[in-house]
Structure 1
């Protein structure tokens, strides 16, 4: 029997309502999901290992109902491209550097400010404080993503192809940096010429004199063996680069409360392990660098107070949270 136009419209409306209800209140059985997680670090990096550990825990905790496929080494694009995918819902999860987030939201850049802390052990404590975690609260509104915490790298160091003895000696040097605005302003205040270069090209840029030095964390630097193209390694005791595990807001709203709680808890466990990994292995990597023969220069005699004052003139109006984080960090030193 054929439907009349009226019956057809009623049936269609009823079907649409049923579909909407099913989408908005998914059953546990219908919530099976394989999350796609992107990050830029290579296989074997501590961030990548932590992402894999999170995926394994999630799959085990849900008997395979929820799982994670990790796309490392920027397979899904750079962090800017992954942020766009997260915003659209094309990517479920991304472990994104604070540099990328801070370039989009000035207040989040507070976590990248110089001299918040002076050691990797203090970094580990700072990123777990309520004040540091609160920086992520603006992400749903500003970026359409949900931030689940902070992971870390160690304190950043400078490798130089020429002799240097102090941060003051960076004046006039072409220095490869992470291009986040906070780092750019910091190194410009030191008189360096910040030179952003894609990560895969950095080693050659050091070798051929395109740049005079670079700043990076110890773990990444050992993996890349920048000591082979440098004369000096100088710990700056100033900067670190955390990352935040993000979930697309479009994906997050489809999850029920129990799954959200589980994901938050398992991400936290993974971050705790990653942070412990960095703190416990960094000294061993420093010893490896020392054994390689590269000269170490201690920046401890450098007085950063005038530099901090100049930096804060630029950044406190944009990210007033810096003052609070620096006060907390001073107690952790």
Structure 2
């Protein structure tokens, strides 16, 4: 409850401009497709909220970028045009650089360790300034799997990635990482990735195991590198304008239930990621498992850049050490 008390205090500054009528039909946006774990969690959140509120509140879920890309949805959250979103921490970090520390290469040893970091008090504290700084209330974290690399052609070392057009999620921490490697990071939305890899518009992609397997990105690749080099957090967001217009009771209900379902995605990935990787390894593609040494000096270069951009990196590293 301390987390939500701090959020309420931060959001209170926006109360004067909030809608006076209490919202009861919420719209929730995501970029993920309908079968994705995040989308299913959003739908389950909406169903339980409707039941718990006796039908007073409902949630319409809009997956697959129906309401725009994440930058556009974040703007809608800021104005109150959109009520809620399950959004990559990557996008939010473009407005709140402290969150970029989550993308420190090899901050997490494995998928379970990533989950423990995201459930820590240190991680929760990083959500508290969002209402005042970004205009959104962060209720809790979820995640996708750890990041892997899928490439056309052979990749035997990080040097083989140099100069390759490599699809990334458009945010600064991962851009800095692949620039350090010498690749040509290429931002691209999910719906374009399959065809781009098929037709050679990109040479490689940075992706999690779920989408590599479920969306069959491996089909147009020769090499899969299981690098596990970064975690990929998600955050449940409510427009601070909408939040400020809710009663204290409804804030607790919405916040607790959304936090429950974004957190549930952590358990889903911990349970399923090994199976997806095993299936990908069985496709007949060249499959290589590597560790931090694969990336050479790129990791230290990233650490140098981001130690100057964020004050939260040391705190997250300490938490990572405590939760191993």
TM-score of the two chains, using structure 2 as the length reference: 0.89
| Alignment partner of 1:254 out of 207, 221, 245 | 245
Quote the Cα distance in structure 2 between the aligned partners of 1:330 and 1:234. 26
Q: Which moved more, 1:145-154 or 1:273-282?
A: 273-282
Match of 1:172 in 2: 163
Alpha-carbon shift at residue 231 of structure 1 (Å)? 0.9
Secondary structure of the structure 2 residue equivalent to 1:242: strand
Distance 1:296-1:331 versus aligned 2 partners, 3 A rule: farther
Once the two structures are superposed, what CA deviation does each residue of 1:103-138 show, in whole Å capped at 9, x if it has no partner? Answer: 112112122222211311111111011111111112
Quote the Cα distance in structure 1 between the aligned partners of 2:70 and 2:273. 25
| Residues 1:112 and 2:103 aligned together | yes
Alpha-carbon shift at residue 328 of structure 1 (Å)? 2.1
Distance 1:225-1:146 versus aligned 2 partners, 3 A rule: same
* Structure 2 unmatched ranges of 5 or more: 1-15
Alpha-carbon shift at residue 201 of structure 1 (Å)? 2.0
Distance 1:186-1:331 versus aligned 2 partners, 3 A rule: same
Quote the Cα distance in structure 1 between the aligned partners of 2:322 and 2:302. 21
Distance 1:96-1:65 versus aligned 2 partners, 3 A rule: same
Quote the Cα distance in structure 1 between the aligned partners of 2:38 and 2:281. 25
Match of 1:143 in 2: 134
Quote the Cα distance in structure 2 between the aligned partners of 1:312 and 1:76. 35
| Residues 1:152 and 2:173 aligned together | no
User: Alpha carbon RMSD of aligned pairs, Å?
Assistant: 1.8
Quote the Cα distance in structure 2 between the aligned partners of 1:111 and 1:144. 21
Q: Structure 2 matches for 1:256-271, cutoff 5 A?
A: 256-271=247-262
Secondary structure of the structure 1 residue equivalent to 2:200: coil
Match of 1:225 in 2: 216
Contact 2:165 2:184 in 1 (8 A): yes
Match of 2:206 in 1: 215
Contact 1:165 1:298 in 2 (8 A): no
Q: Structure 2 matches for 1:39-188, cutoff 5 A?
A: 39-188=30-179
Quote the Cα distance in structure 1 between the aligned partners of 2:38 and 2:140. 13
Distance 1:178-1:110 versus aligned 2 partners, 3 A rule: same
Quote the Cα distance in structure 2 between the aligned partners of 1:67 and 1:323. 41
Match of 1:294 in 2: 285
Quote the Cα distance in structure 1 between the aligned partners of 2:281 and 2:288. 11
Secondary structure of the structure 2 residue equivalent to 1:221: helix
Contact 1:166 1:297 in 2 (8 A): no
Quote the Cα distance in structure 2 between the aligned partners of 1:52 and 1:79. 18
Secondary structure of the structure 2 residue equivalent to 1:239: coil
Quote the Cα distance in structure 1 between the aligned partners of 2:299 and 2:166. 20
Once the two structures are superposed, what CA deviation does each residue of 1:277-321 show, in whole Å capped at 9, x if it has no partner? Answer: 111111111121122212211112726674333212211121121
Alpha-carbon shift at residue 331 of structure 1 (Å)? 4.0
Contact 1:87 1:248 in 2 (8 A): yes
* Structure of larger gyration radius: 1
Number of residues of Structure 1 aligned to a counterpart in Structure 2? 307
Distance 1:162-1:241 versus aligned 2 partners, 3 A rule: same
* Structure 1 unmatched ranges of 5 or more: 1-19
Quote the Cα distance in structure 2 between the aligned partners of 1:262 and 1:71. 21
Contact 1:165 1:299 in 2 (8 A): no
Quote the Cα distance in structure 2 between the aligned partners of 1:302 and 1:152. 25
Quote the Cα distance in structure 1 between the aligned partners of 2:23 and 2:166. 47
